Amino acid sequence: MMRSIVRFVPIVLALVILTFTSAVTAQTTAFSYQGRLLDGASPASGTYHMQFTLHSAVSGMGNQVGTTVTDTNVDVVNGLFTVTLDFGYQFPGTDRWLDVSIKKPADMSYSALTPRQKIASVPYAVTARGLNAERTSTATDPVNFPAATSLGTDSVIDIAGNYTDTQPAPVARQGRFRVNHDGSLLAKGDPIGNGSSFLEEYGVPVSSFGTRLMWHARKGAIRAGGVTDRTILNTTTLNQDPNPGTQWDEANIGVFSVALGENVRASASGAVALGYDTIAAQNSAFAVGEGNTASGAASVAMGFHAHTNARQGSFVFGDRSTPDVLRAGVNHSANWRVSGGFRIFTSSNLSTGVTIQSGVSVSNWGQSSAVISTSTGAYLSTGGVWTNASSRDLKRDFSMVDGRSVLRKLVSMPIQTWGYKAEGKNIRHIGPMSQDFQKLFGFGTDNLSIGTVDADGVALAAIQGLNEELKDRDKKIAEQGSKLTALEKQVQIQQEAIEDLKLLVCAEKPDAAPCRRKE
């Protein structure tokens, strides 16, 4: 027993455009319908009988339009089937629903499948209500009109490949215009400069507000999207287009320009404006994103509220972190607002490059004495000297250092000469290993690097410690000198006393040993 059917959208196998007075074959009102049939939970296969009726309502009785179409030998293969349906001229532009009933050849009655299937817009193309104004055309080879017909006062035509028509034949319709062709589509216009009045005869196809796809043949320009009367956002924080709703008028369409989006204007030669409220106002300018303006020649404005500020050759990219406008300051400059950080990689595995995290700056803008200047106050001078920021105002958590302790640790730290693996073998350096430095002193963020301020601080503290050691040594030497002087005086006194005693002894005993003159 059949339980469900999944229907595909009906397909009209025709390209509907307009009628030429040339003789063409007639197209019928039939269209192909494809569906998928399930027998229980599995795709059905075999021969089935099907009935199709067309209705003006999704449900109810008494709303059938056209005749009942019955097909008693529908081949279903792996659940799929295709039938040709023809209800006559029953598509005036209002909604239609298809009712399907089905049975196996041995069954006595049909089973209706619910709900009814709404007919897609494609079959309505046989009516082509907006194309009832006929035009004539002179066509030469190659040309091929395989199927075309006129239904009442309305006109349609199916153009196969290799059709050429050199006569102007504009098509205006609020519905749809379709080109269904496996090959390429060419839209061609005459070169610019064919007299002073060409804009009047071959100007912009449509002006003012609306949603449309537009090809300006004489200017080679493309427009797709829409124009409204809303003011373009974009002054100090937002910059206003002085003439909202005119972005795609003749005066605002540049030669060979492209504008795709809503309220986008490309008014100069070769200009491109994409997105939402963007303006490309100078030759070869490019604006993409939201609220951006490329007002300098060959300038680029991207992202959100970026403005090249009439600076030629400039590039401006704004993130969406603020509604303020980022403006270029000078010609031929690159200007970025990326509040989440900036990264440039110079290797495919993203291991090398330059990254700047949010809130940090690296520049030398306006500083003639610095090659690199950072937001922390550190900079690289033009002489090649890296200068660290060291203001007390930048620091916290102060504590005194025991220089002698630092000196003792420094004396115990190995100092070696070595070379970086990334440098040539003939390049040598001298210094400690970061692991030893971190283990002894604990300064810095990790054991893989040594901050210059930390190395300098250790050296200065060790010098102070050495100075204290020398002062203590000098004090001890001074004390020892005083003692030695006292001892020398004492020895002198004792020597004088000995001489006095010697005189007394020798006076009484001139032959005594101390008194005898040594030969």
Question: Tens of pLDDT along 280-328?
Answer: 999 999 999 999 999 999 999 999 999 999 999 999 999 999 999 999 9
Q: What is the topology classification, in CATH, of domain 399-519? A: Arc Repressor Mutant, subunit A (1.10.10)
Give the Cβ contact number of residue 136 at 10 Å: 9
* DSSP class per residue in 309-350: TT-TT-EEEE-SS-SSPEE--STT-EEEE-TT-EEEE-STTS
Sequence ranges of the chain with CATH classification 1.10.10: 399-519
pLDDT of residue 283: 97
CB distance 187 to 222 below 8 Å: no
Q: Which of 71, 51, 55 is nearest to 63 (CA)?
A: 55
- Cite the DSSP H helix spans in 184-236: 198-202
For the residues 48-63, what does the mean pLDDT come to? 92
Q: Which residues lie below 8 Å from residue 452, measured CB to CB, with a gap of 6+?
A: 386, 388
For residue 218, what pLDDT band results from cuts at 50, 70 and 90?
A: confident
For residue 132, what pLDDT band results from cuts at 50, 70 and 90?
A: very low
Task: Tell which wins on pLDDT, 505 or 190.
Answer: 505
CB distance 274 to 264 below 8 Å: yes
Phi and psi at residue 268, to the nearest 5°:
-120, 170
Residue type, 90: Q
Residue 137 has which token pair? 């055309």
Question: Which CATH code fits 4-126?
Answer: 2.60.40
Whether a cis peptide bond, with omega within 30° of 0, leads into 191 is no
pLDDT of residue 257: 96
Q: Which residues lie below 8 Å from residue 54, measured CB to CB, with a gap of 6+?
A: 64, 65, 66, 87, 90, 96, 97, 98, 99, 119
For the chain, the average pLDDT equals 79
Does the pLDDT value for residue 433 go beyond 80? yes
Calculate the dihedral angle through the C-alpha atoms of 342, 347, 351, 353, rounding to the nearest 10 degrees: -40
Which of the residue ranges 95-104, 184-193, 223-232 would you say has the lowest mean pLDDT? 184-193
3-state secondary structure at position 434: helix
Does the pLDDT value for residue 338 go beyond 70? yes
Whole-angstrom CA distances from 481 to 266, 352, 471 are 95, 64, 15
Half-sphere exposure of residue 237: CA atoms within 13 angstroms, side-chain side: 5
In the chain, DSSP finds a helix count (H) and a strand count (E) of: 4, 31
Phi and psi at residue 257, to the nearest 5°:
-100, 165
Q: Is 8 exposed, middle or buried (0-12, 13-18, 19+ CB in 10 A)?
A: middle
Sequence ranges of the chain with CATH classification 2.60.40: 4-126
Which residue matches tokens 């400069």? 193
pLDDT of residue 304: 96
3-state secondary structure at position 430: strand
H or E segment to which residue 499 belongs: helix 452-508
pLDDT of residue 479: 92
Rounded to two decimals, what is the model's pTM?
Answer: 0.49
Phi and psi at residue 512, to the nearest 5°:
-65, 155
Q: What angle do CA 393, 397, 398 make, to 5 degrees?
A: 80
For the residues 181-202, what does the mean pLDDT come to? 48
Task: Tell which wins on pLDDT, 97 or 373.
Answer: 97
CA-to-CA distance for 400 and 405, rounded, in angstroms?
A: 12
Task: Tell which wins on pLDDT, 192 or 369.
Answer: 369
CB distance 149 to 26 below 8 Å: yes
Q: Which of 268, 264, 252 is nearest to 224 (CA)?
A: 264
CA-to-CA distance for 88 and 66, rounded, in angstroms?
A: 7
